[in-house]
Amino acid sequence: NFDFFFFLWIALVPLVITVRGKNSRESFYLGLLTVFAYFAGTVYWVYHSMYYYGQVPLVFSILLLIVLSLILSLYIGIFAMLFNFLSRQSAVPALLTAPVLWVTLEYVRTYALTGFPWSLLGYSQYKFLTLIQVSDITGVYGVSFLVAAFNGAIYDIVSLRYGKDEGAPRSARWPKTLGIASFIIIIIASLFYGAGKLKELDKGKKIRVSVIQGNIKQDVKWDARFQREVIETYKRLSIKALSLHPDIIIWPESAVPFVLGYDDILTEEIYAFPKQLNTHLLFGGVVERQKAQDKPGLSNSAVLLSPEGKVLSVYDKIHLVPFGEYVPLKEFFPFVDKLVTAIGDFVQGEEHTVMGTPFAKIGNLICYEIIFPGLVRQFVNEGSDLLVTITNDAWFGRTAAPYQQFSMAVFRAVENRVPVARAANTGISGFIDTKGRVINKSDLFVEAVLTEEITTGGDKSFYTKYGDVFAWLCIAVSVLLIMGRIILEKRK
């Protein structure tokens, strides 16, 4: 939670300068090793979650962190190698090659191997509200582009003044000079666009939402001896919220400490509770579902109840956490299951369920689903004008993960121009408006009841309608630059 966001505007400069003059292999390893420390430092919480709560052996937990950090670093190794390749005796400015390559590899990382778009460059700017408004056109990748381009511009300035371009004829220097001038115009235009968007009034309906943060310890959450205490905690905090007359009360992921339907008495107690509240209740729970071959299974779900206690909608989590909610390729590596004996194995949901209410259409994301721009966009395209993300971040302990995940939710709100209500078991819970402004948020590891009046989403944004057009444009430019360079190399 250091928020040194301004360092990212120069952080890539040492790397891109260092790879200058190196061969492809040297460039790859320089990129890999340079960024390994970055990823190990930003996703270190993986070790904490696996060891302290997943009951994975210490050595294996550390090994998993190292492997994950190396996999993520591979993308930057490829970036360094390709950047070096495109920079050799080329008039193409680095402020173009660096950002298009960077965005291309970020986009690949979002989907490859189930996807893990954590620590994207653009997320570092989540507090720079004027700048990030362009995300409703480009997605988070547009902000990554601007940050990477700024680093590339510094590289170009260094090259023109002190590097291989110093003393070169004007005809050889003008592409980079023109590129720097164009980039300044793009930055100014982006800031003007953002300033205008921040002044716009929201067009949706005003609703009042309460989020409940129960602060239930992970090691007692599923202990049958604490079932009554957990249930009473959420009921007590929900009754406390009634004084502000919310339209809906939201509990976190797996707030209900039993499998719905397994215990009829407890299930009926939860279903009857909205009658006492006289309002809608949305909560996370585990629901029995059918697996393949008609075998029973469990899903990580969100359940919406009416004020009369009727089940209005159920959403089953679509994007499950590898090794947290299922074991990838378990049929080929059955021994892996023994290493993760305390980790659940859930059935994957299939439908982007939009929860209809008289006051809003809710798109519910569970846990880290909020970090996937495409998944969130699909919910909004299905009609959601309020995004709810419920999560149990107790797994992360007092690490950077809850702060990082909250910053990603800011971008989902801006990209789709839809507000976000976040209910987290141990924090951070809060509200984000359509401009990315944090209206209210809780501290970590405290009980909390937050109630805010928020405005639902209005017209669909460009990003919501058309998706990652900007990212695909960067991919196309990257391919053209690489192909062009290969052709030039062959001619020589």
| CATH number of the domain where residue 415 is located | 3.60.110.10
**Apex 150 CA angle, 179 and 481, nearest 5:** 55
In a domain, 260, yes or no: yes
Give the integer Cα–Cα distance in Å for 234 and 425: 10
Do 48 and 178 share a domain, yes or no? Answer: yes
Please report where in the chains the tokens 């001896």 appear, as a residue: 225
pTM: 0.93
Tokens of 72: 């993520």
In a domain, 103, yes or no: yes
Do 11 and 135 share a domain, yes or no? Answer: yes
Q: What secondary structure letter does DSSP report for 50?
A: I
Total number of domains in the chain = 2
Do 353 and 396 share a domain, yes or no? Answer: yes
Q: What is the pLDDT along the chain (492 residues), one digit of tens a residue?
A: 557 788 999 999 999 999 988 999 999 999 999 999 999 999 999 988 888 877 788 898 899 899 999 999 999 999 999 999 998 867 789 999 999 999 999 999 999 988 999 999 999 999 999 999 999 999 999 999 999 999 999 999 988 877 655 444 555 567 778 888 999 999 999 999 999 999 998 889 999 999 999 999 988 888 888 999 999 999 999 999 999 999 999 999 999 999 998 889 999 999 999 999 999 999 999 998 866 556 668 899 999 999 999 999 999 999 998 877 777 766 665 656 644 455 457 889 999 999 999 999 999 999 999 999 999 999 999 999 999 999 999 889 899 999 999 999 999 999 999 999 999 999 999 999 999 999 999 999 999 999 999 999 999 999 999 999 999 999 999 999 999 999 888 877
Do 166 and 277 share a domain, yes or no? Answer: no
In a domain, 75, yes or no: yes
The candidate with the shortest Cα–Cα distance to 454, out of 419, 426, 479, 483, is 419
**Phi-psi group of 139: left, alpha or beta (phi > 0 → left; psi -120 to 50 → alpha; rest → beta):** left
Do 117 and 76 share a domain, yes or no? Answer: yes
Catalytically annotated residues = 253, 317, 367
Give the integer Cα–Cα distance in Å for 222 and 342: 12
* Domain hosting residue 242, numbered range: 206-458
Tokens of 42: 């930003």
Do 167 and 243 share a domain, yes or no? Answer: no
Give the per-residue pLDDT at 163: 60
Do 191 and 223 share a domain, yes or no? Answer: no
Do 230 and 277 share a domain, yes or no? Answer: yes
Do 171 and 211 share a domain, yes or no? Answer: no
Do 96 and 221 share a domain, yes or no? Answer: no
Please report where in the chains the tokens 């988070």 appear, as a residue: 140
For residue 55, give the H/E element and its range.
none
In a domain, 463, yes or no: no
Do 106 and 74 share a domain, yes or no? Answer: yes
SS (H, E, C) 92-109: CCHHHHHHHHHHHHHHHH
In a domain, 449, yes or no: yes
**Any long-range contacts for 39-46 (C-beta under 8 Å, 24+ apart)?**
39/68, 39/69, 39/72, 39/73, 39/119, 40/65, 40/66, 40/69, 42/118, 42/119, 42/400, 42/404, 43/68, 43/69, 43/72, 43/118, 43/119, 44/399, 44/400, 45/396, 45/397, 45/399, 45/400, 45/401
Do 130 and 211 share a domain, yes or no? Answer: no
In a domain, 289, yes or no: yes
DSSP-derived pairing of the beta strands 361-366 and 354-356: antiparallel
- Sign of the torsion formed by the C-alpha atoms of 216, 218, 221 and 223: negative
476 to 63, 118, 161, 267, 347: CA distances (angstroms) = 36, 23, 31, 53, 36
Give the per-residue pLDDT at 338: 45
How far is the first Cα of the chain from the last one, in angstroms, to the nearest whole number?
A: 50
Report the interhelical angle of 140-161 vs 401-416 (nearest 10°).
100
